């Protein structure tokens, strides 16, 4: 057994693509980091660089000095800005070797689609000297895998993977993960993601910190505050699957003793899913009235498969005339308290409940900004009205921070939380 199995390997990921630095989302990073974590590996660095050979080569040189495995995503295509092969050759001082059998496969692939093969595709047939070819059945760019022996008996591994997710992910699952396990030892790991609402991140941190300290040698923790939500992630490793599972069972029980009252879901669960389950459990139907959120609450509710079983519809009552005409908000309420008030939110929630003949109603009204605020009613002030959850309708007052989009998203999240909590109390 080599020495690498006695410690956690340092794994890095390098993403290439100028578009990733120009506002396009990097969907690969979440996937790769999560899969590696669940497999018992730790990512020590994830870097994004433009389509620039010098920048890519510099990152590969840094990896060769400090870490064990590097996964490079992108830059294996045939165009002028696909430079990962050339950059790896430059960084590692290894020549690229032409493989005619690869180009033959590429030509066969093009012929199946009755397309002429551009000359540029020939560059995809060049492989780093000493690297293994990773066949890519879904694309023309094969991956590459290079192992480098080191004096400390801990091998280094470089993986060059194609950029498109449909091509990258099968190669990662079928080749990269098995090779990492072979090189660095099988890690047995379990992970847990708990979602909390109704508690601030700092309060959750205060309650959970003793557990983090107590289990610091057996688990890794991450806490993240979102809109009206706190996510707590736990990753446990063990020498055996049973060891990892046993630690996780003890840790999960301890977590629920501390913050179980605030947990609404695990894993991929969302507030809207949790609310949907409670509506189904209590056999209630829902309708919503939205002002400042302009349909955002309805959008989240209907993103849940099967939501038509309990969600009847919504009314976007942006103007006061619509609030009065469709929702039955009284003119006296608007003139005395204004559209952004607890009175208005209550009447909106009750009005949409009666209009849609639903069991319960939710309303959201507020000032999202950037304009429209005042000293008495600043930007970020919002109200969530609830009707049908208790003998009398009621409202919650919110003071939200952030830009217009953030205020709206936070108001929606709090509306889901308040409705879920009210259903749980029935």
Of 129, 149, 184, which closes a domain? 184
User: Do 177 and 192 lie in a common domain?
Assistant: no
Identify the pLDDT of residue 321: 97
Using one digit for the tens of pLDDT, what is the confidence trace for 395-410? 999 999 999 999 999 9
Q: How far apart are CA 417 and CA 425, in angstroms?
A: 12
User: Do 213 and 342 lie in a common domain?
Assistant: no
Identify the pLDDT of residue 425: 85
User: Do 178 and 202 lie in a common domain?
Assistant: no
Using one digit for the tens of pLDDT, what is the confidence trace for 253-303? 999 999 999 999 998 899 999 999 999 999 999 999 999 999 999 999 999
Percentage of the chain with pLDDT > 90?
A: 73
CATH number of domain containing 168: 3.40.980.10
User: Do 298 and 391 lie in a common domain?
Assistant: yes
Is the pLDDT assigned to residue 6 strictly greater than 60? no
Residue 368's nearest CA partner among 333, 417, 325, 318 is 318
Percentage of the chain with pLDDT > 70?
A: 97
More confident residue, 66 or 185: 66
Is the pLDDT assigned to residue 124 strictly greater than 80? yes
User: Do 32 and 169 lie in a common domain?
Assistant: yes
**Number of structural domains in the chain:** 3
Q: 3-class DSSP state for residue 312?
A: strand
More confident residue, 106 or 217: 217
CATH number of domain containing 316: 3.90.950.20
Kindly list the distances between the CA atom of residue 288 and the CA atoms of 168, 255, 351, in Å, as whole numbers in the listed order: 42, 34, 10
How confident is the model over 343-354, as a mean pLDDT? 98
User: Do 49 and 61 lie in a common domain?
Assistant: yes
User: Do 297 and 419 lie in a common domain?
Assistant: yes
Identify the pLDDT of residue 21: 93
Q: 3-class DSSP state for residue 200?
A: coil
Using one digit for the tens of pLDDT, what is the confidence trace for 60-119? 999 988 899 999 999 998 888 899 999 999 999 999 999 989 888 877 877 776 667 777
How confident is the model over 304-313, as a mean pLDDT? 97
User: Do 90 and 172 lie in a common domain?
Assistant: yes
More confident residue, 378 or 109: 378
Query: Is the overall model pTM greater than 0.75, yes or no?
Result: no
Using one digit for the tens of pLDDT, what is the confidence trace for 316-334? 999 999 999 999 999 999 9
Q: Domain of 175?
A: 3-184
More confident residue, 111 or 47: 47
User: Do 126 and 29 lie in a common domain?
Assistant: yes
Of 156, 184, 212, which closes a domain? 184
- DSSP, residue by residue, 257-298: HHHGGGEEEETT--HHHHHHHHHHHTT--EEEEESTTTTHHH
Identify the pLDDT of residue 137: 87
- β-strand partners of 325: none
Residues 6+ apart with CB under 8 A from 351: 289, 323, 326, 327, 328, 329, 361
User: Do 413 and 286 lie in a common domain?
Assistant: yes
CB 259 within 8 A of CB 204: yes
Is the pLDDT assigned to residue 349 strictly greater than 50? yes
How confident is the model over 364-371, as a mean pLDDT? 96
Is the pLDDT assigned to residue 7 strictly greater than 90? no
Identify the pLDDT of residue 32: 94
Identify the pLDDT of residue 41: 85
CATH number of domain containing 234: 3.30.70.2860
User: Do 417 and 292 lie in a common domain?
Assistant: yes
DSSP H/E element including 409: helix 404-424
User: Do 160 and 72 lie in a common domain?
Assistant: yes
How confident is the model over 376-390, as a mean pLDDT? 97
Of 249, 266, 283, which closes a domain? 266
């Amino acid at each position: 057994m080599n020495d690498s199995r006695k410690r956690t390997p340092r794994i890095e990921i390098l993403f290439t693509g100028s578009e990733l630095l120009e506002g396009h989302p990097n969907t690969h990073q979440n996937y790769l980091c999560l899969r590696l974590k669940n497999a018992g590996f730790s990512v020590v660095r994830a870097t994004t660089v433009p389509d620039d050979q010098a920048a890519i080569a510099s990152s590969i040189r840094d990896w060769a000095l400090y870490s064990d495995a590097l996964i490079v995503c992108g830059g294996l295509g045939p165009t002028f800005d696909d430079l990962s092969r050339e950059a790896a050759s430059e960084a590692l001082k290894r020549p690229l070797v032409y493989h005619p059998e690869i180009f033959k496969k590429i030509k066969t692939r093009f012929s199946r689609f009755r397309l002429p093969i551009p000359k540029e595709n020939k560059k995809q047939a060049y492989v780093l000297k000493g690297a293994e070819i990773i066949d890519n059945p879904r694309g023309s760019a094969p991956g590459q895998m290079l192992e480098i022996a080191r004096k400390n008996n801990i091998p280094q591994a470089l993986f060059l993977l194609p950029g498109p997710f449909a091509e990258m992910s099968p190669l990662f699952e079928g080749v990269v993960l098995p090779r990492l396990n072979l090189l660095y030892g099988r890690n047995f790991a379990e992970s847990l993601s708990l979602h909390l609402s109704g508690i601030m991140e700092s309060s959750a941190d205060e309650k959970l910190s003793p557990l983090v300290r107590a289990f610091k040698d057996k688990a890794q923790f991450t806490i993240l505050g979102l809109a009206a939500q706190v996510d707590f992630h736990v990753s446990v490793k063990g020498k055996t699957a049973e060891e990892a599972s046993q630690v996780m069972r003890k840790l999960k029980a301890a977590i629920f003793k501390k913050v179980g009252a605030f947990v609404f879901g695990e894993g991929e669960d969302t507030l809207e899913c949790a609310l949907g389950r409670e509506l189904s459990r209590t056999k209630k139907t829902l309708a919503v009235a939205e002002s400042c959120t302009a349909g955002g609450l309805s959008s989240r509710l209907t993103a849940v498969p099967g939501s038509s079983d309990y969600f009847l519809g919504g009314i976007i009552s942006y103007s006061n005339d619509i609030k009065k005409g469709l929702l039955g908000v009284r003119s006296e309420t608007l003139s005395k308290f204004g559209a952004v008030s607890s009175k208005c939110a209550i009447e909106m929630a009750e009005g949409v409940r009666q209009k849609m003949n639903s069991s319960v109603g939710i309303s959201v009204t507020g000032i999202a900004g950037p304009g429209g605020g005042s000293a008495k009613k600043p930007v970020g002030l919002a109200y969530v009205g609830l009707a049908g959850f208790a003998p009398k309708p009621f409202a919650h007052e919110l003071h939200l921070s952030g830009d217009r989009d953030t205020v709206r998203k936070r108001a929606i999240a709090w509306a889901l939380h308040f409705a879920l909590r009210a259903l749980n109390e029935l």
